[in-house]
Structure 1
Amino acid sequence: MRRACRVSIGYPEARRAKIRRMSCEAEYFSKGFDWEELRAEIEANPSFRYHLLPYEPSSFAREAEADVDAWEQFHTRHSSGKFFKERRYLVKEFPELLSCGENAVLEVGCGNGSTALPILRANKDAIVYACDCSSKSLNRAQEVIGSATIGSFEDRFHTFCCDVCTNGFPPWLACNSCRNKFLQKQSNCVSESKEGNEPCFTNTCSREGYDGCIGGVDFITLIFTLSAVPLERMSRSINECFAVLKPGGMVFFRDYGLYDMTMLRFEQAKRVGFREYKRSDGTRSYFFCLDTVRDLFVGAGFTELELDYCCVKSLNRQQGKSMRRVWVHGKFKKPTLV
């Protein structure tokens, strides 16, 4: 159980409020409950049994364009940005982001910029490349970060449209020289075309294994992104991350965990796979166990540094209900010698 936040007596109210926030933030991501106890409870409850049953996939092929369209519509509905909260906890969970200097950070599935913004705030030297399959979300991310008081962001925040699980990353991302050219010619071309056109700077970048490239990004953040990818395309996404990451670089991962409250709310008719669900708006969500995450990253060549369930118990004050949230926290490194 989380301890109550303690506040010293005698401090001015503003100071007490700051201490309270810092104390709560430090404890927010501690173990609020034991995941194994939750698992035993859920698996013994007959009303949740359908979540555990094997799932026979449908005979029709999944259309990647349908997933992209669903997210375009999602970001159109939530264009105000009020739906999202700035993920300030990331720099506490992944302190490497604070000391990465002028290294390049790639944010995969950036949404409205709620992950990139705290990185840019906390590290005045970091350069963030942000991609998303939704052009609407990229426009919103530019607006959000452009209106933030974080100094000259124009030289440190760069967006490009990319559906990594379908088309892969553009080759220039793995090459320092080609990334510089991208910054100079960003308005001309930002990713590979769905019609099969050649990617930018293909004369200097080799698509096959990026053999002709020198460099790559230093860090990659996958924050509540992989769960939106169909399970059969997740491996390609992780392999692409491995390809554009420098040797010694790291991936920071956080996503929905098995038996999270939101998973248990899905009706049986919303299942589209084992531990995979589709919302009424067409967007999908997968709920990870540790073994699935480990297999995906280790199978791509990564070394596991950290991997655990993040179990948080919070209170819905309006309804007076206790909510148990489960996320998977992971940190993976590309070996120095590959």
Structure 2
Amino acid sequence: MSVSAAATAEASEYHSKDFNWETLRQEIENDPSLKYHLLPFPSPQQEEQHSKDSIKAWQKFHNQHSSGKFFKERRYLLKEFPELVSCGDGCKVLEVGCGNGSTARPILRGNKKIVLYACDCSYETLERAKEFVAGSNIVLAEHRFRPFYCDFATTGFPKWLACEYRREPKDQNCLSDVTENKSHETDAWPMEETSGCVGGMDFVTLIFTLSAVPLQTMPTAIGECFSVLKPGGMLLFRDYGLYDMTMLRFEPEQRVGFREYMRSDGTRSYFFCLDTVRNLFIGAGFIELEIEYCCVKSVNRRSGKNMQRVWVHGKFQKPT
């Protein structure tokens, strides 16, 4: 079986309705030992300092997991977001928070016509993503994969991504004026598009990225994504859902906000309910196309224990 055939077979076997989320919710909310997850959080951390600390923590995290084995290739995305397979010549996709390329590889492999722009807040991670994509035997990957450094939640996207579509006032859902840092690090990431305009994205993917952004910063971050899309373009969303097993493993002292948690390594995670996601994206100007919980049972190979995973799946469109 070829690589592409294997990826298609794996995607076709993917399922996301193994249990009912409402039943899980009732079980969690009726368990006294888990009540602390439901309590309000009175004093959120300072946004600016928290954002800087979070970026450093994620950079360290990716350095520790540099082999690429920690993140498996997300082949299910081709089934969950078939629009990425069917879009035609000249289709431009922006992956926000590309990590080591676990999302980029199936997208590039699934559609040979896509040009994929991918950003991350770690130079080292971008280098590894380039290496993994280059070593994946993907057609014309070196020409179709265009990584660049950006922390979209704090500095915004560079103007050249979508300068033709800056129709909103500067203080509403508009691209930030990102100043070019002329350090040796940015010089290592030349992009020919910096001198012109890419002309907007057909798709933006936010795959397990928004949950790492402080809650107070999320509206600004989503507004940035809105601005780089062409009119009629789509944002494809997937992230941690409320009462996912990883949320329930956090201890009370790891809470840094309501439904927000800090791991021991300094990385953070927010767990979304459908209403929060809906309000965030509609508030940024998007039209809701799809939104639902994905509820998947899996088995820990080491312990043999069943795990109940909850993710939020969504598709949102920029008005034409």
TM-score (norm. length: structure 1):
0.82
Equivalent in the alignment of 2:136: 148
Letter in 1 for 2:242: L
Name which of 235, 246, 253 aligns with 1:251. 235
Equivalent in the alignment of 1:277: 261
RMSD across aligned positions (CA): 2.6
Long gaps (5+) in structure 2: 166-177, 183-190
Q: Are 1:96 and 2:80 an aligned pair?
A: no
Question: 1:169, CA displacement in angstroms?
Answer: 0.5
Name which of 3, 10, 26 aligns with 2:12. 26
Equivalent in the alignment of 2:252: 268
Equivalent in the alignment of 1:77: 64
Alpha-carbon separation, structure 1, partners of 2:194 and 2:180: 16
Alpha-carbon separation, structure 2, partners of 1:243 and 1:135: 24
Question: 1:30, CA displacement in angstroms?
Answer: 2.8
Instruction: Work out whether residues 171 and 202 of structure 1, in 8 Å CA contact, stay in contact via their aligned partners in 2.
Output: no
Question: 1:155, CA displacement in angstroms?
Answer: 1.3
Question: 1:223, CA displacement in angstroms?
Answer: 0.2
Alpha-carbon separation, structure 1, partners of 2:80 and 2:143: 26
Which aligned pairs between 1:101-112 and structure 2 lie closer than 5 A? 101=88, 102-112=90-100
Which aligned pairs between 1:35-54 and structure 2 lie closer than 5 A? 35-54=21-40
Letter in 2 for 1:166: T
Equivalent in the alignment of 2:101: 113
Question: 1:318, CA displacement in angstroms?
Answer: 2.9
Alpha-carbon separation, structure 1, partners of 2:112 and 2:179: 30
Name which of 38, 57, 62 aligns with 2:43. 57
Name which of 187, 199, 220 aligns with 1:215. 199
Alpha-carbon separation, structure 1, partners of 2:107 and 2:193: 30
Alpha-carbon separation, structure 1, partners of 2:214 and 2:260: 8
Letter in 1 for 2:97: G
Alpha-carbon separation, structure 2, partners of 1:309 and 1:124: 30
Q: Are 1:228 and 2:216 an aligned pair?
A: no
Q: Are 1:322 and 2:306 an aligned pair?
A: yes
Letter in 2 for 1:41: E
Aligned residues: 296
The 4+ residue runs of structure 1 with deviation greater than 6 A are: 200-205
- C-alpha deviations, 1:127-149, integer Å up to 9, x for none? 00000111111111001001110
- Report SS of the residue matched to 1:111: coil
Higher deviation after alignment, 57-66 or 25-34: 57-66
Alpha-carbon separation, structure 2, partners of 1:133 and 1:214: 21
Letter in 1 for 2:76: Y
Instruction: Work out whether residues 11 and 78 of structure 2, in 8 Å CA contact, stay in contact via their aligned partners in 1.
Output: no
Equivalent in the alignment of 1:180: none
Instruction: Work out whether residues 167 and 194 of structure 1, in 8 Å CA contact, stay in contact via their aligned partners in 2.
Output: no
Question: 1:201, CA displacement in angstroms?
Answer: 10
Name which of 117, 121, 124 aligns with 1:136. 124
- C-alpha deviations, 1:49-73, integer Å up to 9, x for none? 0000000125655412211111111
Instruction: Work out whether residues 14 and 76 of structure 2, in 8 Å CA contact, stay in contact via their aligned partners in 1.
Output: no
Percent of aligned positions that are identical: 63
- C-alpha deviations, 1:196-244, integer Å up to 9, x for none? xxxx999988xxxxxxx78311000000000000000000110001111
**Which protein shows a greater Rg?**
1
Letter in 1 for 2:280: L
- Report SS of the residue matched to 1:320: coil
- C-alpha deviations, 1:254-305, integer Å up to 9, x for none? 0000000000000111100000001111110000000000001000110000
TM-score (norm. length: structure 2):
0.86
- Report SS of the residue matched to 1:150: coil
Instruction: Work out whether residues 54 and 267 of structure 2, in 8 Å CA contact, stay in contact via their aligned partners in 1.
Output: yes
Equivalent in the alignment of 1:208: none
